[in-house]
Amino acid sequence: MKIEELFTVEGYGVVVTGGASGLGLAFGEALAENGASVTLLDVDADALETEVARLTAEGYEVRGEVVDVTDHDALDAAFEAAVRTSGRLDVAFANAGIDPGPGFVGAWAGADRPRNEEGAIERYTDERWNRVIDINLNGVFATIRAATRHMRPQRSGRIIVTTSLAAIKSEAVIGAAYMAAKAGCAHLTRNVALELAAYGITVNAIAPGFFVTNIGGGHAKDPAQQAAIAKEIPMHRVGFPDDIKGLALFLASPASAYVTGQQIVIDGGWGLGIAD
């Protein structure tokens, strides 16, 4: 098989949740740039309108719809609309998520990491916990369910979940609800992959490390924050959305046809430990 056939997504129908910025936008761009028909779903109407306008002006087949993944009926309807538009559903990226708020120590600031009482487990409110779980875990479940309803009858498809390095290793600066949600997404990915393998549907996860996105109010865009965390990453730099496009294309394309139930880490080696 030629390389252009191995990684082709030409004509694919694709849905991306949380698609108006960050990694979700990168996922949508990667597939649209290679000939897919992409529907971006997001709660941020302004960002969605801006990005859809930009991508369509560049000649790509992209549409957007304002959807909150906690509204499961609206999410199901958005998938139905995307399938009517594209004529098929080949790939679904369950990507939408929110920042968990602070962990029990302060943000990356070298060896001196003072305890952060705001992030202490005994101060967690039900509202804060439930909101993170509702979007970051329940929203992924609802996205997988919506996609499966279209993919199982056709006996094919790719479902790709955005987890996190936080699903694998503990991190004191990240709120506990986020850790629980992402770990839950990782195990859900494996279990659904087991269920759907017989139907020609693969289910995999991408586990990013530190990437520069809008999550957490865009704190990752602070050069001082980037410099601090880059010292802990063996590659000595943080990740940017373009860094994830190759992995997204691999998991969405025929190149990954025999890969399912896997969580692939993309973190510049951060999870390996500090090298220098």
pLDDT of 3 reads: 87
Q: Is 263 in contact with 189 (CB distance < 8 Å)?
A: yes
pLDDT of 218 reads: 66
Q: What distance in Å separates the CA atoms of residue 209 and residue 116, rounded to the nearest whole number?
A: 22
pLDDT of 217 reads: 60
> What is the set of active-site residues?
178
How is residue 3 written in tokens? 């390389």
In 3D space, the residue among 155, 154, 157 whose CA is nearest the CA of residue 12 turns out to be 157
Q: What distance in Å separates the CA atoms of residue 93 and residue 235, rounded to the nearest whole number?
A: 27
Place of tokens 């679904």: 92
Q: Is 38 in contact with 14 (CB distance < 8 Å)?
A: yes
H or E element: which one contains 180? helix 176-196
Give the burial class of 23: count Cβ atoms within 10 A of its Cβ; 0-12 exposed, 13-18 middle, 19 or more buried: buried
How is residue 143 written in tokens? 């996205």
In 3D space, the residue among 98, 245, 272 whose CA is nearest the CA of residue 168 turns out to be 272
H or E element: which one contains 264? strand 263-266
Q: Does domain 3-265 have CATH number 2.60.40.420?
A: no
Domain spans, the chain:
3-265
pLDDT of 261 reads: 98
Could you read off the pLDDT tens digit of each residue along the chain, which spans 276 residues?
788 889 999 999 999 999 999 999 999 999 999 999 999 999 999 999 999 999 999 999 999 999 999 999 999 999 999 999 999 999 999 999 998 788 888 765 455 678 888 888 998 999 999 999 999 999 999 999 999 999 999 999 999 999 999 999 888 888 899 999 999 999 999 999 999 999 999 999 999 999 999 876 667 788 888 898 899 999 999 999 999 999 999 999 999 999 999 999 999 999 999 888
